Structure 1
Amino acid sequence: MAELTRDAVEHLARLARIDLDESELNRMVGELGVILESVATVQQAPTEAVTPMSHPMPLVNVTRPDQIRPSLTPQEALAGAPESDAQRFSVPRILDED
């Protein structure tokens, strides 16, 4: 594997929009190098006989079956709302356009 350079770390920091000073860049070269070496070591593990899985423990889906049942009408759901608009709750804007 190619050695990690300071320029590569600087490029990655710029892509991630992380502002690193000179000492941080120099430190990150070593730290990221150790991480990349660790990943390379793990990738060498013999995994041919290992069955792929999404979780180490067996999981059971505990959801209930969907059943159609009576519920509130839009008018009943909005009855206690301070304001509504077109059968929706109306709330004050908290975010600006940008």
Structure 2
Amino acid sequence: MPSISRGEVEHLARLARLAVTEDEVDRFAAQLDQIVQAVAQVGQVADQDIPPTSHAVPLTNVFRRDDVRPGLSQQQAVAAAPAAEDGRFRVPRILGEEA
């Protein structure tokens, strides 16, 4: 007996705003049922002796240390800008926003 009903497929289609035909509802119900069964089989394979993992191989952090270094001053940052105003970068107005 299928675990995914026609009503559930129709509900999912409404949520996804998909227009589906009667034939598609039946086909999708069968396909979704196969997916649910495949996931259930994967769940049966998992053994209590196998710890859950997020990666198949151990990972080490390859990033550099986060050392504090001096940055640019406001004047230095805007000095090379093509356009600056009041110590800030001046950029073109977008999306019709008003100042």
The percentage of aligned residue pairs carrying the same residue is: 41
Give the match for residue 68 of structure 2.
68
TM-score by length of 1: 0.75
2:2·2:30 contact (CA, 8 Å) conserved in 1?
A: no
Matched ranges for 1:1-98 at <5 A: 3-17=3-17, 19-22=18-21, 23-84=23-84, 89-91=89-91, 92-94=93-95
* TM-score, normalization by structure 2: 0.74
Question: 1:93 Cα shift?
Answer: 2.3
Larger Rg: 2
The alpha-carbon distance between structure 1 residues 20 and 95, as it changes in their structure 2 partners (threshold 3 A), is farther
The alpha-carbon distance between structure 1 residues 65 and 5, as it changes in their structure 2 partners (threshold 3 A), is same
Distance across 1 between alignment mates of 2:13 and 2:29 = 11
Q: Which whole-Å CA distance do the structure 1 matches of 2:28 and 2:96 have between them?
A: 36
Q: Return the alpha-carbon distance in structure 2 between the equivalents of residues 25 and 90 of structure 1.
A: 54
- Separation (CA, whole Å) in 1 of partners of 2:10 and 2:59: 42
Moved over 2 A (4+): 23-26, 78-96
Structure 1 residues 25 and 90, CA, compared in 2 at 3 Å: closer, same or farther?
farther
Amino acid at match of 2:7: D
Please say if residues 10 and 25 of structure 2, whose CA atoms lie closer than 8 Å, have aligned partners that are also in contact: yes
Gaps of 5+ in 1: none
Structure 1 CA distance for aligned equivalents of residues 39 and 2 of structure 2: 14
Moved more, 76-85 or 5-14: 76-85
Q: RMSD of the alignment, in Å?
A: 2.7
